[in-house]
């Protein structure tokens, strides 16, 4: 029997979630394949910590748990964390990895269903959203995610990973022929009158995978707080 046939048989017997759980214990190399929290990007981590130190954050919501590296970073601050992962294998892996954190809840679903369910809870306010579930195949959820967030949650800050930073060499994603950039979100930016921030430092100053990101908010008080963050610059 070939290795491929053996893997296929094990997957049928154990299921993808259990395969993911096993991987956590038997393959430590998978733990930080992107270099650590926020793709191993120290400046990105500092941006988040600066926000956390100056803005009231009651909840952290993440789309795209993957193997839980950034989720585990969020968990350090004893703030309730809700994270969603569609891939059953990654979900199983993260479920084991994050089991020790009682304040972290992982869901196996797509990000739109997940955010719709969260929006039914009117008590959720002052949320930091980290959007990193950019879809596979014909699934391209980012615009719907942003629309759901700013139509339902007050006093929120949204950070989007893998986003094009204008006039820089930061890496970014393309889905279904569309770049993850300002043009993709232009209608929503105008609809909600969103404030936009990008990293103020060059990719050469960053560590890890050097992926781009954007910060979005609509409340004036949050905008004023972000203006004082020297690690980001407002985009006009």
Tell me the helix, strand and coil percentages in the chain, rounded to 5: 40, 20, 40
- Going along the chain from its start, the domains and CATH numbers come out as 23-235 (3.40.50.150)
- Measured between its terminal Cα atoms, the distance across the chain in Å is 60
Token output for 152: 């339902």
Q: Are 166 and 182 in contact (CB under 8 A)?
A: yes
In this prediction the pTM is 0.93
Can you give the pLDDT at residue 36? 92
CB atoms within 10 A of CB 119: 14
Q: Which of 42, 38, 80 lies closest to 61, judged by CA?
A: 80
pLDDT tens digit at each of 236 positions of the chain: 555 655 565 566 678 888 889 899 998 888 888 889 999 999 999 999 999 999 999 999 999 999 999 999 999 999 999 999 999 999 999 999 999 999 999 999 999 999 999 999 888 999 999 999 877 666 789 999 999 999 999 899 999 999 999 999 999 999 888 899 999 999 999 999 999 999 999 999 999 999 999 999 999 999 999 999 999 999 98
d(CA 71, CA 60): 9
């Amino acid at each position: 029997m070939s290795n491929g046939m053996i893997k296929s048989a094990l997957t049928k017997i154990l299921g993808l979630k259990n395969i993911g759980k096993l991987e956590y214990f038997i393959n430590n190399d998978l733990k930080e394949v992107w270099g650590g929290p926020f793709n191993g990007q120290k400046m990105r981590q500092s941006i988040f910590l600066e926000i956390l130190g100056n803005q009231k954050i009651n909840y952290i919501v993440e789309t795209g748990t993957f193997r839980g590296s950034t989720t585990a970073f969020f968990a350090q601050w004893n703030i309730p964390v809700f994270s969603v992962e569609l891939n059953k294998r990654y979900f199983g892996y993260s479920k084991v990895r994050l089991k020790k954190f009682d304040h972290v809840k992982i869901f196996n679903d797509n990000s739109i269903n997940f955010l719709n369910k969260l929006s039914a809870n009117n008590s959720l306010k002052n949320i930091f959203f980290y959007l990193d579930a950019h879809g596979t195949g014909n699934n391209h959820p980012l615009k719907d995610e942003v629309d759901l967030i700013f139509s339902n949650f007050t006093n929120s800050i949204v950070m989007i990973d893998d986003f094009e930073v204008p006039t820089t060499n930061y890496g970014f994603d393309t889905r279904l022929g569309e770049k993850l950039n300002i043009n993709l979100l232009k209608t929503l930016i105008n609809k909600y009158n969103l404030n936009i921030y990008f990293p103020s430092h060059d990719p050469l100053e960053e560590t890890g995978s050097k992926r781009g990101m954007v910060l979005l908010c609509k409340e004036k008080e949050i905008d004023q707080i972000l203006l004082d963050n020297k690690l980001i610059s407002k985009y006009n």
